[in-house]
Structure 1
């Protein structure tokens, strides 16, 4: 057991781990525990301190609370403060438990055998560490949830007799990222986007809906490659699009992930397929030395088995009881942070979004929301979302370069990929899904209605094949509703001046009802 340094929970600070506090304050909760025990963990997105003013302020990643919120200057006091005001940070708690050993938690429970926070800590120790404390089963105390549902998203869970708690954690000890309740997520969840999507689909004729679905599927596949900076041949785009269209039909397991990687890579001459057996990182290399310059460090290869098993167990278990978009964010971003493959991780990460939404029946049958297209349009927001955790993870991982200009992680870091705060990721994904439901789906259906109206009226005016009518529409669309001089002299030289003017008028009438510009 490692004890905290002498008098660790006292004194006012202005700097914590090279971060300036917005005002002088005493560390509280997780920040105090991290400081007292020297825990090398990714810092929580929001840290707490106790200031001198009698109002709570939040700024620069800090929540400065009032003197009346001050916890007892003991491990028990700061743990209670953390659970009450900061929610669960499983990575910090597990590293703390491994550092202190069981005695402090046993002492807390013996001092407060019916205390709600003591019993929650007791459960969390045994759940995270996998070992029983030297304590008899609880005999009194009302059942309380392990995760406070007012602070973080949980599931219904099940009762645990030993500590008289309800385990509502949305995961397993192998994989359990958490999402905080925020006004943004509460508002998004209340929108019933799945219901809106079904209403839009129900109002579209079946043949038109099928064409809409095909377009959106191809759009998503193209966008997913574009996010990676790739321009693959059309057959690879279509092949990956077909795989996306089947998302949710096949249960997620190791073989399914390997099958999908083979599809997404295509040409495997220079890529090693399968799960990594060496380190990995996202970033670049120094131009002179070729040494790695990581922006994100992937999970160690020796941790991948348990992480993949944890993700699969999450998908088949807790994800079924969690909000579908939040579950999709947790699984997909957890996968991309672990980066289990040498290549193809980004596209599989976005596939997992489709997998969860389709599996849960969130999107109408046969329709795929073009989430990748929404991400591509917001690529800088997407990168910033990824960095919300990568930037906090990188400083606490020790690594060394290998002879092959790769990275070798020196510490046990598996828990940092099992447990992270996925709140920004859930908010970002909900915004993308909302865009696809409220804009992309209805706009594409409307576009096809207008295109059909244009084609039918043009073919009634001039006899031409569908491919020629499609080219005519494309030229008009690209040139603001008029035929260019080049098009009049070449591809559509056969049109008379009167016919050309009528075609332009048909186009303008066809798109006049659109609430958005097609050109």
Structure 2
């Protein structure tokens, strides 16, 4: 028996194992790829080992199995183990298929052509490489789900009669991120927090809801710019807000993405608008040499046609199915920002895509804007963490050199890094933002406008002030906990007496604070 199949380890990728054991499934495949083809890939959040003990248990990082679960001494047995216990990792599977070669895959399939795992491997090999092996179609047999719905969220099902497989992958060969089932996601999906929006708006004044939507629209637009460190003139923010207000009306296409970029950028157009023709990265430059210091490297320019085609086709597949709308928005919006197909405007369009998909799939209604950027801005460090979760796993796997114009030139093939990845952490984050939006941001905005109207009516009942001055007065009171300072009164409201100011402050406290 080959030593590599029975070797025991206590550390893997710098992480201590809960106890000494043999690597199994994807952990074994990662080791094989590193040792035999010098290929390093992003590591799944949880891996598997086999120990000599008779206790099966799990830690945050490891699933520990007993000797009776041990795969046979060949790589395909570890593939079967992974499909059975760990789910599907398309990136590791594709690389492992390339390592062991077509002949060994064919030999295994032909040895047990009706076995459920041989059929899964057969389907996945042909699907990933978009080829057809010299193996006859199956003529009979029950259909087997490709992706285990107890492990990962399945997409709409399409039967493959050739393999007797129910293909329920939530994507296409050109773009197919996956999301693992977790207790947190299951809780969000089962409680259907979306219903809280309608409950909160029932019996509310329609004009108030309309004004709330307008305020939220501008607030979300400004928040999306603020996330990028930009504070544009009000008109530019309003124009982007109008675009957000139209989300969900037009199908998502390349031309629509390019139109949105023009709205985002405003009057100062880039030299090269639309899909990038050169490479790109997010990061800094060395102060002395101007050498790039990337935090995120965008997908190769030559790969963008395939990646964007895959993203748009996956979007069409999911948004016209029963796939969860938040998971769909995660897949498309985060997939877009990781690919980073534009020279500028990627972040704001990424957040626009969340609006678009949630509206298109009926999760939110057009008469109530869903200010998800405001929720993200409130949790900006968590947002940066979920973006870095993707980038940090890939930055060292991309070979590059600096160019004369201080950009980067990518030297290795990287397309699959942007096609196949896990989005579980991003999905949990987006659900948290949705919950925050529904339970706090929208109710707070409605509550504020109701109180604003009450105070406005009281002020107007005994003082004749222009609407703009009343608005300024309430904003200044908000800024200073209901008190109008002497300086602000002298600068803006010299026509008010001390008694009138006292009455206004009393009313503010009664309405906003009590």
- Using the alignment, how far apart are the partners of 1:177 and 1:319 within structure 2? 15
In structure 2, the CA distance between the partners of 1:490 and 1:347, relative to structure 1 (3 Å rule), is: closer
Q: Please report how far the alpha carbon of residue 269 of structure 1 lies from its aligned counterpart in structure 2 after TM superposition.
A: 5.2
Structure 1 length normalisation: TM-score?
0.94
- Aligned residue pairs, count: 509
Asked if the contact 2:9–2:21 (Cα under 8 Å) also holds between the matched residues in 1, the reply is yes
The residue aligned with 1:517 is: none
The SS at the match of 1:444 is helix
CA offsets, 1:264-303, max 9 Å, x none? 1124355531211121111111111111111111111111
Q: Please report how far the alpha carbon of residue 60 of structure 1 lies from its aligned counterpart in structure 2 after TM superposition.
A: 6.2
Asked if the contact 1:152–1:181 (Cα under 8 Å) also holds between the matched residues in 2, the reply is yes
- Using the alignment, how far apart are the partners of 1:309 and 1:448 within structure 2? 44
Matching of residues 77-96 of structure 1 within 5 Å? 77-96=77-96
CA offsets, 1:392-433, max 9 Å, x none? 112222222222221111222111111110100100001001
Structure 2 length normalisation: TM-score?
0.95
- Using the alignment, how far apart are the partners of 2:446 and 2:298 within structure 1? 41
Structure 1 residues without counterparts, runs of 5 or longer: 514-519
Q: Please report how far the alpha carbon of residue 18 of structure 1 lies from its aligned counterpart in structure 2 after TM superposition.
A: 4.1
The residue aligned with 1:227 is: 227
Asked if the contact 1:115–1:141 (Cα under 8 Å) also holds between the matched residues in 2, the reply is no
The residue aligned with 1:454 is: 455
- Using the alignment, how far apart are the partners of 2:315 and 2:60 within structure 1? 35
Asked if the contact 1:281–1:298 (Cα under 8 Å) also holds between the matched residues in 2, the reply is yes
Asked if the contact 1:201–1:364 (Cα under 8 Å) also holds between the matched residues in 2, the reply is no
The residue aligned with 1:73 is: 73
Asked if the contact 1:292–1:405 (Cα under 8 Å) also holds between the matched residues in 2, the reply is yes
The SS at the match of 2:261 is helix
- Using the alignment, how far apart are the partners of 2:491 and 2:290 within structure 1? 53
- Using the alignment, how far apart are the partners of 1:343 and 1:119 within structure 2? 44
Q: Please report how far the alpha carbon of residue 53 of structure 1 lies from its aligned counterpart in structure 2 after TM superposition.
A: 4.0
Q: 416-425 vs 72-81, which deviates more?
A: 72-81
- Using the alignment, how far apart are the partners of 1:8 and 1:203 within structure 2? 68
Asked if the contact 1:221–1:372 (Cα under 8 Å) also holds between the matched residues in 2, the reply is yes
Matching of residues 234-273 of structure 1 within 5 Å? 234-268=234-268, 271-273=271-273
Answering whether residue 469 of structure 2 is matched by residue 473 of structure 1, we say: no
Q: Please report how far the alpha carbon of residue 450 of structure 1 lies from its aligned counterpart in structure 2 after TM superposition.
A: 0.7
The residue aligned with 2:43 is: 43
CA offsets, 1:94-113, max 9 Å, x none? 12222322222222222222
- Using the alignment, how far apart are the partners of 1:59 and 1:267 within structure 2? 53
Asked if the contact 2:334–2:350 (Cα under 8 Å) also holds between the matched residues in 1, the reply is yes
- Using the alignment, how far apart are the partners of 2:260 and 2:98 within structure 1? 37
Asked if the contact 1:22–1:60 (Cα under 8 Å) also holds between the matched residues in 2, the reply is no
- Using the alignment, how far apart are the partners of 1:52 and 1:376 within structure 2? 49
Asked if the contact 2:33–2:95 (Cα under 8 Å) also holds between the matched residues in 1, the reply is no
Asked if the contact 1:299–1:413 (Cα under 8 Å) also holds between the matched residues in 2, the reply is yes
Q: Please report how far the alpha carbon of residue 30 of structure 1 lies from its aligned counterpart in structure 2 after TM superposition.
A: 0.9
Pairing partner for 2:20 from 13, 21, 24: 24
Asked if the contact 1:197–1:437 (Cα under 8 Å) also holds between the matched residues in 2, the reply is yes
Shift >6 Å, 4+ stretches: none
- Using the alignment, how far apart are the partners of 1:485 and 1:52 within structure 2? 78
The residue aligned with 1:482 is: 483
Matching of residues 392-407 of structure 1 within 5 Å? 392-407=393-408
Q: 370-379 vs 104-113, which deviates more?
A: 104-113
- Using the alignment, how far apart are the partners of 1:155 and 1:199 within structure 2? 30
- Using the alignment, how far apart are the partners of 1:274 and 1:264 within structure 2? 12
Structure 2 residues without counterparts, runs of 5 or longer: none
The SS at the match of 1:426 is helix
Matching of residues 230-379 of structure 1 within 5 Å? 230-268=230-268, 271-321=271-321, 322-379=323-380
Q: Please report how far the alpha carbon of residue 378 of structure 1 lies from its aligned counterpart in structure 2 after TM superposition.
A: 0.8
The residue aligned with 1:204 is: 204
CA offsets, 1:149-178, max 9 Å, x none? 100001231211111111111111111100
